[in-house]
């Protein structure tokens, strides 16, 4: 029998973060639904919010909808049009595995109230209309066949479109006229949680990924659901699971196994586990309005990923497939670049932890807001600085831009360098000349060893001064 928890945040916070989640580093997020049929939003906004915007006066989405589809087309009509004709869950799973992801999170139900599984509670779902397939179940099976972890995310804490209910926010118990003020009533909460428990029972997820809670956990019965999940996983499924911080309004950023900044960046190491989620473009759902300039390129994605890992985070990078089930090349290519880099440098990422410092930026004396871009990286795209990761007495030094031929690293202020003797390029295994003097390790990196994506060098016999990893050093 596993650990028993009380339905309080204090008790829930005693739950340990699973080793698999600590070590995974890279996950894939998928936003796919009827909103993928119109697949449009103004650049810089979320296309998966289409069913909110299409019913809102004076919204650009409503104007687009009436021009492109006409006033008589309702959101559920998109569900009927959604055929997923080219969807191959095995191809998706193989792609996610090939690029180095260790877990996959698929929207089980987004804010549109449309389940992507065969729900007992909803006649409107992907198994009964549109694709007429259990999308969650099929992808779950394919992903686990590749040896990856799987979870369907659940966004119904804030549904702005709920088939079977009335009102702008999905139910008359939402006593508000704006989305900022909307809160779910008790009848809706019971309905919402019944669907979520069904999702959990059917697919035994490896983590729970909640979204946008509008009220406190007591009114959502959130703590009871989380505790039930922990205990069911331990006693019935015999596996370690995780829960994000968005189960309730008061837990967001404070409780759960990991916190979830969205399109946001941490300027320093966060000792508690965290996960940054974002798309390759700006929208999570497919947005035909975004062009190449609105997407990260491969080098930017590699730099962002390494930065997140150096600060104790995972990156949950999102793809927004087209309605037919294909993933756009503008999204695939940068992720493929990251996967190719991980093929060469995965030893410096998987299973690592953070070191005494995350690294350095080119303008170290400037204020953080002066050195960070919208993507959470230093403003100068030609000089992203250095990041560190560590495991088994090896310090991995990641140069996010092209390193100079001679690179001094002031490591001695953080750790004893007396054992430091060798350095090698991780991707090739080639040794790099190394000298240590007055606490400064100087590397001589030949041009042939430089990787334009990120150059990673392993320094042996470097301790980690953190107390929690000292055993065995």
- Domains in the chain, ordered, with CATH? 9-260 (3.20.20.80), 359-469 (2.60.40.1180)
Contact status, residue 87 vs residue 136, Cβ threshold 8 Å: no
Output the furthest CA–CA distance in the chain (Å, rounded): 75
Q: In what order do the strands lie in the sheet with 103-109?
A: 149-154, 103-109, 26-30, 313-319, 274-279
Strand ranges inside 320-447, DSSP E: 359-360, 386-391, 394-399, 406-409, 423-425, 434-437, 440-444
The answer to whether the CB of 335 falls within 8 A of the CB of 280 is yes
Of all helices (H) and strands (E), which one includes residue 95? helix 89-98
pLDDT at 52: 87
Structure tokens at 236: 């019935």
The answer to whether the CB of 130 falls within 8 A of the CB of 47 is: no
pLDDT score for 161:
63
Euclidean distance between CA atoms 136 and 150, whole angstroms: 10
Q: What is the pLDDT of residues 419-455, one digit of tens each?
A: 888 899 999 999 999 999 999 999 999 999 999 999 9
Q: Give pLDDT, residue 217.
A: 85
Q: Which stretch of DSSP H or E encloses residue 317?
A: strand 313-319
Give me the sign of the Cα torsion angle 397, 403, 405, 409: negative
Q: How many residues does the chain have?
A: 473
Q: What is the pLDDT of residue 377?
A: 42
**What Å distances lie between residue 433 and 218, 388, 399, 443, CA to CA?**
60, 19, 16, 6
At 186-195, the pLDDT tens digits run: 888 898 999 9
Dihedral sign computed on CA atoms, order 232, 233, 237, 238: negative
Which segments of the chain have a pLDDT < 50?
167-177, 363-383, 471-473
Q: In the prediction, which pLDDT does 384 show?
A: 54
Q: Each residue of 45-103: pLDDT tens digit?
A: 999 999 989 988 899 999 999 999 999 999 999 999 999 999 999 999 999 999 999 99
Contacts for 471 with CB less than 8 Å, ≥ 6 apart: none
Contact 119, 125 (CB under 8 A): yes
């Amino acid at each position: 029998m596993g650990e028993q928890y009380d339905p309080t945040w204090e008790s829930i916070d005693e739950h340990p973060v699973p080793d698999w989640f600590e070590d995974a580093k890279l996950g894939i997020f998928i936003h796919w639904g009827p909103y993928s049929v119109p697949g449009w939003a103004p650049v810089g906004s979320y296309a998966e919010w289409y069913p909110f915007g299409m019913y809102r006066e004076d919204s650009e989405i409503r104007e687009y909808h009436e021009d492109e589809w006409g006033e008589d087309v309702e959101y559920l009509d998109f569900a009927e049009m959604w055929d997923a004709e080219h969807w191959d869950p095995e191809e998706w799973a193989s792609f996610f595995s090939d690029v180095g992801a260790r877990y996959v999170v698929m929207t089980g139900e987004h804010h549109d109230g449309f389940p992507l599984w065969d729900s007992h509670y909803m006649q409107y779902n992907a198994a009964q209309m549109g694709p007429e397939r259990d999308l969650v179940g099929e992808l779950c099976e394919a992903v686990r066949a590749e040896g990856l972890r799987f979870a369907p995310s659940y966004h119904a804490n804030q549904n702005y479109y709920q088939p079977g209910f009335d009102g702008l926010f999905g139910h008359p118990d939402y006593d508000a006229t704006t989305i900022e003020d909307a809160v779910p009533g008790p009848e809706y909460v019971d309905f919402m949680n019944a669907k979520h428990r069904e999702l959990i029972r059917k697919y035994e997820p490896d983590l729970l990924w909640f979204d946008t809670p509008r009220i406190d956990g007591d009114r959502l019965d959130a703590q009871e659901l989380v505790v039930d999940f922990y205990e069911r996983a331990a006693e019935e499924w015999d596996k370690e699971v995780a829960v994000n911080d968005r189960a309730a309004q008061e837990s967001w950023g404070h409780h759960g196994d990991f916190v979830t900044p969205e399109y946001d960046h941490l300027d320093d190491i966060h000792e508690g586990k965290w996960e940054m989620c974002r798309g390759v473009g700006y929208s999570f759902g497919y947005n035909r309005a975004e062009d190449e300039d609105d997407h990260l390129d491969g080098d930017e994605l590699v730099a962002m990923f390494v930065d997140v890992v150096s600060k104790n985070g995972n990156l949950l990078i999102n793809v927004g497939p087209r309605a037919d089930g294909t993933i756009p090349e503008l999204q695939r290519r940068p992720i493929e670049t990251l996967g190719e880099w991980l093929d060469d440098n995965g030893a410096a990422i998987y299973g690592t932890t953070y070191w005494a410092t995350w690294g350095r930026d080119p303008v170290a004396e400037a204020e953080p807001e002066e050195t960070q871009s919208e993507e959470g990286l230093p403003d100068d795209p030609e000089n992203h600085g250095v990041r560190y990761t560590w495991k088994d007495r090896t310090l991995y030094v990641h140069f996010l831009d092209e390193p100079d031929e001679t690179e001094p690293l002031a490591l001695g202020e953080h750790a004893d360098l007396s054992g430091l003797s060798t350095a090698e390029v991780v991707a090739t295994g080639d040794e790099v000349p190394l000298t240590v003097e007055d606490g400064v390790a100087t590397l001589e990196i030949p041009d042939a060893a430089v990787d334009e994506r990120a150059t990673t060098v392993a320094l042996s016999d470097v301790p980690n001064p953190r107390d929690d990893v000292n055993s065995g050093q």
